[in-house]
Amino acid sequence: MLASKRILLIISGGIAAYKSLELIRLLKKQGADVTPVLTRAAQEFVTPLSVSALAGEKVYTDLFDLTDEAEMGHIQLSRVADLVVVAPATADLMAKMAQGRADDLASTLLLATDTPVMIAPAMNVRMWDHPATRRNLEVLKADSVSIVGPNEGDMACGEYGPGRMSEPSEILDAIATELTDGPLKGKHVLVTSGPTHEPIDPVRYIANRSSGAQGTAIARALVALGADVTFVTGPADVDPPTGVTLVQVETAEDMLKAVQTALPADAAIFAAAVADWRVASATGRKIKKQNGKLPVLEFAENPDILASVSRMTNGRPGLVVGFAAETDDVIANATAKRVRKQCDWIVANDVSPETGIMGGSENAVTLITPDGAEDWPRLSKTETAKRLADRVAEALA
Ligand code: CTP
């Protein structure tokens, strides 16, 4: 997959540096060449010897190492790669990058390079949330640095939250996407997926049977074609795809906000099974049994995310695709839905229980466009996703 691609891997000093050893192993397995650079602090976490043994190459550590300058100057070192990857990227190195400082080999290479740069941040949750880091992140994004992660979870420092470096396999997928010259290279595609959960009280919620399988397969197929995918998902049964910008939400209202934040996009695919109603009378306290008296739930209508994006007058994605989950008059209902919601295409499917589609591994869809209805055969959700991704690529070409 990455044969003959050269990665300049800068490892900065954080506990996550140990994961970079696994990243090197995965990159080598995919046929990539890895030129490793360690900051001084990184050498407190991993040794140059182990890095060099895995990479099968010399490790660069010091800006003023004259032997290295004779072999390969730092300017040249920064430019021979197809991609510069910083994993882990500490808050300190991000700050240096944002300011354009060059006081050691890693920061000098990053300032001298004309190659695309990707960073996998890793730091304590408070450092990640600090306004200074948020500012630096925005500067780096504006400088076209691509960002992988960080993930949310337990941290080595004992705290919990966002700041954990992405897993090596996720970084590998992001690298592969960055270096893939597919037809959707440079296109931003937004995908919604999964069910939404609408709370009744802190312990109960209203949900639906969507597993998130079709939306996840679509995101994977788009990534494989080189798209830059933002994946907004409700609480799904299946694992989210890798190589995407992942946004996890619970409710329809949160999903709408996440979608608005993720725009602009070249295309948007709304595969989520969004709850039509939320419980307006949802309470912050658990509803208790009351001697046989039944609770009364009041409902309010949720925002229609697909319709609101389709009707945007400013910054509407060039292609908006909705899904229609129907049990009766599938084509007629879906055709009317396309017009009513003002999207460009509708992928219609019959979700009657006997079809086994909702929650299953296969799908049988009809693609409805302004040109009419096109029946696709019953295929695995993966194959259906690939067909749809190919059509999206044709439409955006
Ligand atoms: N959708 C959405 N926001 C909602 C409801 C639906 O974005 N609040 C999107 C879904 O992601 C899907 C499409 O609208 O792409 C159609 O969803 P579906 O459930 O089939 O349609 P509804 O609008 O719910 O209409 P109905 O329940 O009357 O069939």
pLDDT at 65 over 70: no
Q: Considering the chain, what is the average pLDDT of its residues?
A: 92
Q: What is the pLDDT of residue 71?
A: 58
Same domain, 277 and 372: yes
388 lines ligand 1 (CB under 6 A): no
In a domain, 159, yes or no: yes
pLDDT at 66 over 60: no
Q: What is the pLDDT of residue 323?
A: 96
b/e sequence 163-173, b meaning 16+ C-beta within 10 Å: bbbbbbebbbb
Give CA–CA dist 290/292, Å, rounded. Answer: 6
Q: Which residues contact 79 (CB under 8 A, 6 or more apart)?
A: 112, 113, 114, 115
Active site residue 157: yes
In a domain, 105, yes or no: yes
In a domain, 183, yes or no: no
Same domain, 136 and 194: no
Tokens of 188: 């931003």
Q: What is the pLDDT of residue 85?
A: 98
Minimum mean pLDDT among 51-55, 181-185, 301-305: which range? 181-185
252 lines ligand 1 (CB under 6 A): yes
Concatenate the DSSP letters of all residues of 298-336 into one string: -EEEPP-HHHHHHT-SSS--SEEEEEEEESSSHHHHHHH
| Domain finish residue from 178, 200, 234 | 178
Give CA–CA dist 299/278, Å, rounded. Answer: 6
pLDDT at 63 over 80: no
Q: What is the pLDDT of residue 72?
A: 63
Specify the number of domains making up the chain. Answer: 2
CA angle 180, 108, 166 (to 5 degrees): 45
270 lines ligand 1 (CB under 6 A): yes
Same domain, 129 and 209: no
What HEC string does 81-107 produce?
CCEEEEEEECHHHHHHHHHCCCCCHHH
347 lines ligand 1 (CB under 6 A): no
Tokens of 45: 């976490």
Same domain, 357 and 299: yes
Supply the CATH number for residue 311's domain.
3.40.50.10300
| Domain finish residue from 156, 178, 200 | 178
In a domain, 1, yes or no: no
Same domain, 168 and 213: no
Same domain, 302 and 206: yes
Structural domain including 51 reads: 6-178
Concatenate the DSSP letters of all residues of 131-193 into one string: HHHHHHHHHHHHTT-EE--PEEEE-TTS-EEEEEPPPHHHHHHHHHHHH---TTTT-EEEEEE
| Closest Cα to atom 16 of ligand 1 | 324
Catalytic residue among 132, 157, 280, 297: 157
| Closest Cα to atom 14 of ligand 1 | 306
Total residues belonging to the chain? 397
Residues 275-303, mean pLDDT to the nearest whole number:
93
Q: Given ligand 1 and candidates 301, 306, 342, 349, which is best to mutate, with the most ligand atoms within 8 Å of its CB?
A: 306
232 lines ligand 1 (CB under 6 A): no
2 lines ligand 1 (CB under 6 A): no
Helix (H) or strand (E) holding 11: strand 6-11
Same domain, 148 and 12: yes
Residues 26-31, mean pLDDT to the nearest whole number:
94
305 lines ligand 1 (CB under 6 A): yes
pLDDT at 67 over 70: no
Same domain, 192 and 304: yes
Give CA–CA dist 58/18, Å, rounded. Answer: 18
Q: What is the pLDDT of residue 161?
A: 81
Residues 361-375, mean pLDDT to the nearest whole number:
93
Q: What pTM does this model have?
A: 0.71
In a domain, 328, yes or no: yes
345 lines ligand 1 (CB under 6 A): no
Q: Given ligand 1 and candidates 232, 233, 277, 304, which is best to mutate, with the most ligand atoms within 8 Å of its CB?
A: 304
Share of the chain above pLDDT 90, in %: 76
**What's the pLDDT tens digit per position in 68-93?**
555 567 777 888 899 999 999 999 99
Same domain, 25 and 167: yes
Dist. CA 22 → ligand 1 center (Å):
42
In a domain, 226, yes or no: yes
In a domain, 124, yes or no: yes
Residue 64 — very low, low, confident or very high, per pLDDT cuts 50/70/90? Answer: low
| Closest Cα to atom 12 of ligand 1 | 323
Residue 336 — very low, low, confident or very high, per pLDDT cuts 50/70/90? Answer: very high
**What's the pLDDT tens digit per position in 247-278?**
999 999 999 999 999 999 999 999 999 999 99
Q: What is the pLDDT of residue 241?
A: 84
Task: Give the sheet arrangement for strand 365-369, strand by strand.
Answer: 245-248, 228-233, 188-193, 267-270, 319-326, 345-350, 365-369, 372-375
274 lines ligand 1 (CB under 6 A): yes
Q: What is the pLDDT of residue 78?
A: 81
Same domain, 344 and 209: yes
**What's the pLDDT tens digit per position in 118-131?**
999 999 999 999 99
Atom of ligand 1 nearest to the CA of 333: 29
Supply the CATH number for residue 16's domain.
3.40.50.1950
Same domain, 160 and 197: no
**What's the pLDDT tens digit per position in 150-174?**
998 877 777 788 899 999 999 998 8
pLDDT at 147 over 90: yes
Atom of ligand 1 nearest to the CA of 321: 15
In a domain, 318, yes or no: yes
Q: What is the pLDDT of residue 170?
A: 92
Dist. CA 189 → ligand 1 center (Å):
19
In order of 222, 242, 349, 381, the CA distances from 216 in angstroms are 10, 10, 17, 9
**What's the pLDDT tens digit per position in 233-252?**
999 999 888 778 889 999 99
Dist. CA 273 → ligand 1 center (Å):
7
Same domain, 90 and 228: no
| Domain finish residue from 149, 178, 207 | 178
